[in-house]
Structures are given as C-alpha cells and as structure tokens.
Amino acid sequence: MVQHSTGPLAGLLVADFSRILAGPYATMLLADLGAQVIKVESPGGDDTRTWMPPTRDGVSTYYLGINRNKRSVALDLKKPDDLAAAQELARRADVLIENFRPGGLARFGLDYDTVTATNDKIVYASISGFGTGAGRDFPGYDLMVQAISGLMSLTGDPDGSPYRAGISVFDVMAGLHASIGILAALHHRGESGRGQHVEVNLLSSALSGLVNHSSGYVAGGTVPFRMGNAHPSLFPYEPLPTADGELIVIAGNDGQFRKLCQVLDLPGLPDDTRFGRNQDRTANREQLRPLLVERLAKRTKDEWFRDLLAAGVPCAPINTIDGGVALAEELGLDPVVTVGDVPGVRNPITFSDTPARYELPPPGLDEHGEEIRAWLTN
C-alpha cells in the first residue's frame, strides 16, 4: 500500500486503535498533516458511527467530523488471522495510538512492552480517562471528567445547577495533548533513534485546561465557584444588554476600558477611582455594570459591535454555529472543506510550505480492509 500524500508528516504510518473522540480527533489532525492513518475498528465499527442525529446521507455527522483522511480495516482481535494482521500493523507503524482501558491490549500482544519487542522505534500513545494507577478501571467518559475535575461547578448560573460544557471539551483537549506528545516523541526519535510511550489522561488534561481556576486553587488556595457569564478577574468580560439583545463586551486591560468609555460617551469613568484599574472595576462591578448597560441600551447590538470593534474594543454577537461559520467565511478563513462529497471543518493550522491535505473522505467500515490485509501479508 503506497502513500502519495503530501504534508509535514508525509511518510509516517499511524496505527489508530482508538475510537470515540479523543483518539480519532488526534489521528485526524495527524492525517490532515500528511500521515497515513489506518483506522482499526472492531467488526461493529467505531461507536460514533451510531451516534445520531444529526446525519448526512444516513451517516452520523459526529463520526464524519473526526475521521477524514483515514483508511478503515475491521479486525476481530479474537480471530488469529485478524490478530496477526493487527500485530503486523503495529510492527510496521511509526505511531500507534489507543484508548483501551489501561492494560486492555496486553491480552492481544498489542501493549507497549510487547509491541516494542519487535518495533523499538515506535511512538506508542495511550489515552485513558484517569491514568494507569488507582483510576485505571474508571471508564473514561468526558462528562465524568467534567464533573470530577470541577468544570461543572464553574458552569451555570450562581444560584442554579451545575452544567456540562456544550462540547466534550476534555476529550478534545486530551486529543490535542496526545498530538503534541506524539510530535515531541517523534522529534526525540529523530535525535535518538528511540521511540517511547506517550500517556495522556482526561483528568490531567482537564486540570491543565482549567488554567486560571486550577492555578487559583493550587497556587492561591482559592476554590472558585460558578459566576454565570461573569469572569472572576475581569470586568467587563460578559454579555451586556443592548437595545435589541446581548453583546459580549470585553475590557481586558485599562486601555481597552478607556476606549470603551470613549465610544459609549462616558469619558469620566476611567478617571473614577472605582473603575480606573482592572482590579477596581472587578471589585466594583455591581456599581459599574448599570452605568454601561444604561448607555448600551440606546443602540442595537449590531451598531455597537461595528463601532466598538472599529475602536479596538473586543466585543462579539452571540451567534449560533451557523453564524460562526458564516463570519469565518466572511473573514476569508475558509472554514469548510469538502472531501469527496462530505463537507467538514478545515484543519485549523496554516503552513506556508506544507499545507494540510484533504484526500480521503471518512471511510466506511472496512472500506479499505481488503487492500490493507493484502499489504500486511506481503
């Protein structure tokens, strides 16, 4: 099986034994950048093939969104011939990525120690929910991690119930962290000639991704709590009402606040000792908010958006997804790529010399099985 793709990772073979979201998202990013990814599925297929609605031509758009540029082979690891094919793929691969429960591949001879006995240059990446220690048997679902990590305690109205984020945010973070780890290990291999085991778990990705909140606790002893759309350290940094709806208004520093006040025709506020510095605005937000809201109520959100942005004040309408895609198109970001007849969201990284490639639509189950099995037996 010969690969003719381009991209900064062209020539790398990735054996993808992952499923659901974190692993497939990571391998799609690698595939977009030129790696040849072979998606190994059970005979029943990746679970996300059945996660619907929505669908496109009867296929789950969840699955379509994270599996382009891959080839699919269905292997039943309990069958000797299929297991031999999987082991041969691991022997040939530059990268193997898996998200079985820790130790789950050992019974098939596909664990790190066994694979490295015949392929000591492999970069072997494992994604788990809670690591390989006391949490090894915990199922790795994003919603569990949103709850356990503290994210849900930060999401929602102050007097309401905790809420999950609108996406599986820690699956995505773990996929990104896995990709970074794989690329770092490949660089190390280029210097040393040795592969290594890269391990990522959702809870560690979550605590890293909670950034200022987790730092506020571990460095400052402060346990944060949900504040609705408010920010604990900045004001304004939230939706504020206008004449016809809410507009996100941000003053990330004192200079931006001064510009905001100029556009709102509130020139005295930056010199008011209650509001001149960010820490003062944050402490006195309940006094400042009604002054801003009174002025914002005089015009529509689109009018304010245009004028505030022109003055260098960060602000934004609260769009639905279609509005976000439309704005990206308007700004020339080309957010949508079509591979075969399947539209998808473009890879977010732009390269000056080695652009992302879009060659293969998300594969049907075992679509390339015959080709891959023949290649593995040669």
Same domain, 286 and 249: yes
Nearest in space to 174 (alpha carbons), one of 36, 20, 13: 20
Same domain, 75 and 144: yes
Is 278 a member of any domain?
yes
* Strand-pair partners of 343: 338
Same domain, 176 and 266: no
Is 215 a member of any domain?
no
Q: What is the pLDDT of residues 244-277, one digit of tens each?
A: 999 999 999 999 999 999 999 999 999 999 999 9
Is 223 a member of any domain?
no
Which one is catalytic: 82, 94, 171, 366?
Answer: 171
Residue 4 has a pLDDT of 64
Same domain, 254 and 365: no
Same domain, 43 and 120: yes
Task: Please report, for the domain that includes residue 174, its CATH number.
Answer: 3.40.50.10540
Residue 3 has a pLDDT of 63
Chain mean position to CA 279: 32
Same domain, 349 and 259: no
Crossing angle of the two packed helices 301-310 and 254-263, in degrees rounded to 10: 130
Structure tokens at 162: 């905790």
Residue 378 has a pLDDT of 87
| Average of per-residue pLDDT across 307-331 | 97
Structure tokens at 104: 């789950």
Is 371 a member of any domain?
yes
User: Using 50, 70 and 90 to split pLDDT, how confident is the model at 1?
Assistant: low
Same domain, 31 and 134: yes
Structure tokens at 326: 């439309």
Residues counted in the chain = 378
User: Using 50, 70 and 90 to split pLDDT, how confident is the model at 2?
Assistant: low
Confirm whether 82 is a catalytic residue.
no
Residue 366: C-alpha distances to residues 19, 43, 342, 373 (Å) = 14, 8, 18, 10
**Is 289 a residue whose pLDDT tops 70?**
yes
Residue 333 has a pLDDT of 97
Residue 288 belongs to domain spanning: 237-326
Contact 361, 68 (CB under 8 A): yes
Residue 377 has a pLDDT of 92
Same domain, 297 and 370: no
How many separate domains does the chain show? Answer: 2
User: Using 50, 70 and 90 to split pLDDT, how confident is the model at 62?
Assistant: very high
Task: Please report, for the domain that includes residue 305, its CATH number.
Answer: 3.30.1540.10
Q: What is the pLDDT of residues 67-100, one digit of tens each?
A: 999 999 999 999 999 999 999 999 999 999 999 9
Same domain, 91 and 141: yes
* CA pair distance 262, 304, nearest whole angstrom: 12
Is 227 a member of any domain?
no
Same domain, 317 and 340: no
Q: What is the pLDDT of residues 199-257, one digit of tens each?
A: 999 999 999 999 999 999 999 999 999 999 999 999 999 999 999 999 999 999 999 99
* Strand-pair partners of 39: 16, 72
